[in-house]
């Protein structure tokens, strides 16, 4: 297989240029090659949502995405949705409401919720549940996650 040229895309707002074989998976590229370990590997099958990143702003399962598919596009990971200092509104709400327990699913939820609240300032409980239905959490029963997202949306303008 001919080795493709370097892969160019926007990562967390910055242009990057990295080698990536055709079969390289975006999750591996992000975690193993670029050492951004906030994005978690939970199943490698698109079933758990722990690896969710934003691709051109849309929540996307990085474990099911070929790295070459992001050529020229924009990828935002949990590191990219986190402010340089402090926490974002939705992150603060997750902390305050105890919406993290083990925390392994949390980055995926934060990324998903960030996109939801960007597009819907005041989502209903049903809209929140639909938005997070691709993210599994085994600790919280989702109760406090939904509460946190509701609370973050109420604080928004």
Partner 1 sequence: MATTGSPEYRLLGTKIPYIEGPLKVTGRAEYTDDIQRPGMLVGRLLRSPWAHARLRSIDVTEARALPGVFAVLTGEKYPTPFGVLPITHDETAIAVDKVRYIGDIVAAVAASDERTAEAALAKIRIDVEVLPDYSDPRDGTGPVKEPIHARGLLGSNVQKEVVQHFGDVDAAFAQAAHHVRVRGNFAGVTHAFTEPLATIAEATPDGRLTVWSATQVPHYLHRSLSEVLGIPMHRIRVIKPEVGGGFGGKSDPLPHEIVCAALALETGRPVKILVDREDVFYTNHGRHPTQNDVRIATDARGQILAYDIEALIDGGAWSSFGTVTTYYNGVLSMGPYRVPNFRYRGRRVYTTKPPSGAMRAHGGTNIRYSVEVALDQLAERIGIDPFDLRDQNALPPNSTTVNEFRITSTSFRKCLAASREKSGWDQKFRKLPYGRGIGLGCGFYISGSNSPIHFTPKMPQSTVHLKVDMDGGIAVHSMQADIGQGSNTLLAVIIAEVLGVDLERVHVQRVDSDVSPIDLGSYSSRVTFMMGNAARAAAEELRDKLLEAASTLLSLPVSSLVVAHERFQSKADPKVGVSFLEALHTAMERVGALTASGAYNSPAMGGTFKGARAGTAPAYSFAAYVAEVDVDVETGAYRAVKVWAAFDCGRALNRLAVEGQIEGSIHMGLGQVMGESMNYRGTRLLNPSLLEYKIPMPQQMPEVEILLVGDDDPEGPFGAKEAGEGPLIAILPAVGNALYDAVGVRFTDLPITPDRVLKGIDLRRKEGRPWKGA
Binding residues for partner 1, rule: CB under 8 A, are 35-45, 47-48, 50, 77-79, 82, 87, 91-92, 94-98, 100-107, 110, 128-129, 132-133, 136-146
Nearer of residues 71 and 127 to partner 1, judged by Cβ: 127
Q: How far is CA 41 from CA 8, 115, 148, in A?
A: 23, 20, 24
Residue that the structure tokens 């239905």 belong to:
133
Supply φ then ψ for residue 135, to 5 degrees: -115, 125
Nearer to partner 1, 13 or 72 (CB): 13
Shortest separation between residue 153's beta carbon and partner 1, angstroms? 16
Tell me the closest approach of the beta carbon of residue 100 to partner 1, in angstroms. Answer: 4
Between 8 and 125, name the residue whose CB sits nearer to partner 1. 125
Residue 61: phi and psi, rounded to 5, are -80, 110
Cβ-based nearer residue to partner 1, 95 or 121: 95
Instruction: Indicate the SS3 state at residue 21.
Output: coil
Query: What is the rounded CA–CA span in Å between residue 104 and residue 36?
Result: 14
Q: Minimum distance from CB of 82 to partner 1 (Å)?
A: 4
**Minimum separation from the CB atom of position 13 to partner 1 (A):** 16
Residue 25: name the closest of 82, 67, 88 by CA. 67
């Amino acid at each position: 297989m001919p080795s493709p040229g370097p892969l160019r895309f926007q990562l967390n707002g910055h242009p990057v240029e990295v080698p990536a074989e055709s079969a390289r998976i975006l999750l591996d590229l992000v975690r193993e090659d670029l050492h951004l370990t906030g994005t978690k590997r939970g199943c490698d099958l698109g079933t758990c949502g722990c690896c969710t990143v934003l691709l051109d702003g849309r929540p996307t399962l990085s474990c099911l995405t070929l790295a070459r598919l992001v050529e020229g596009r924009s990828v935002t990971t949990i590191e990219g949705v986190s402010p340089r200092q402090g926490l974002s509104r939705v992150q603060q709400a997750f902390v305050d409401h105890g919406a993290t327990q083990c925390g392994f699913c949390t980055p995926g939820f934060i990324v998903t919720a960030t996109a939801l609240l960007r597009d819907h300032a005041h989502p209903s409980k049903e809209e929140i549940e639909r938005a997070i239905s691709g993210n599994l959490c085994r600790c919280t029963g989702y109760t406090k996650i939904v509460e946190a997202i509701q609370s973050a949306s109420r604080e928004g303008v």
